[in-house]
């Protein structure tokens, strides 16, 4: 293990109050080139949308009974209502 660390060591300079990122030497060169040549996103005349962000999952998770009710009201609902395993999602985000 120590041989691996000696062969793959990267000396990083964390001076100053600017933000920092840990990169390999080649990644650092690519990042610097992009910053030198490219236009930062903040300078583009665009608006970036994130889509739906909510902490109110109950608004999007329905019971089987509610699913059936919605499909009876509009059969096209069956095409967009998808199963969701709530237990697995909880494990992923804890």
51 lies in some domain = no
Domains identified in the chain, total number = 2
Q: Angle at the Cα of 19 (from 13 to 25), degrees rounded to 5?
A: 45
48 lies in some domain = no
Same domain, 61 and 38: no
Domain range enclosing 64: 57-92
Same domain, 30 and 62: no
Same domain, 10 and 38: yes
Same domain, 38 and 61: no
Q: Which residues contact 25 (CB under 8 A, 6 or more apart)?
A: 10
79 lies in some domain = yes
Same domain, 39 and 65: no
61 lies in some domain = yes
CA distance 41 to 13: 26
pLDDT in tens, the chain (94 residues): 888 888 887 776 777 777 777 788 899 899 899 989 988 888 888 877 766 666 776 677 788 899 999 999 999 999 988 887 655 444 444 4
Q: What is the 3-state secondary structure (H, E, C) of 34-55?
A: HHHHCCCHHHCCCCCCCCCCCC
Judge contact between 61 and 75, C-beta under 8 A: no
Q: Which residue has the tokens 């998808």?
A: 82
What is the b/e burial string over 22-31, where b = at least 16 CB atoms within 10 angstroms of the residue's CB? eeeeeeeeee
Same domain, 38 and 68: no
């Amino acid at each position: 293990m120590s041989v691996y660390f000696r062969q793959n060591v990267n000396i990083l300079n964390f001076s100053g109050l600017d933000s920092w990122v840990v990169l390999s030497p080649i990644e650092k060169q690519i990042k610097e080139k992009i910053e030198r040549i490219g236009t930062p996103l903040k300078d583009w005349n665009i608006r970036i949308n994130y889509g739906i962000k909510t902490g109110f999952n109950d608004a999007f998770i329905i019971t089987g009974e509610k699913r059936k009710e919605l499909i009876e009201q509009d059969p096209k609902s069956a095409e967009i209502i998808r199963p969701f395993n709530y237990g697995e999602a909880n494990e992923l985000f804890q």
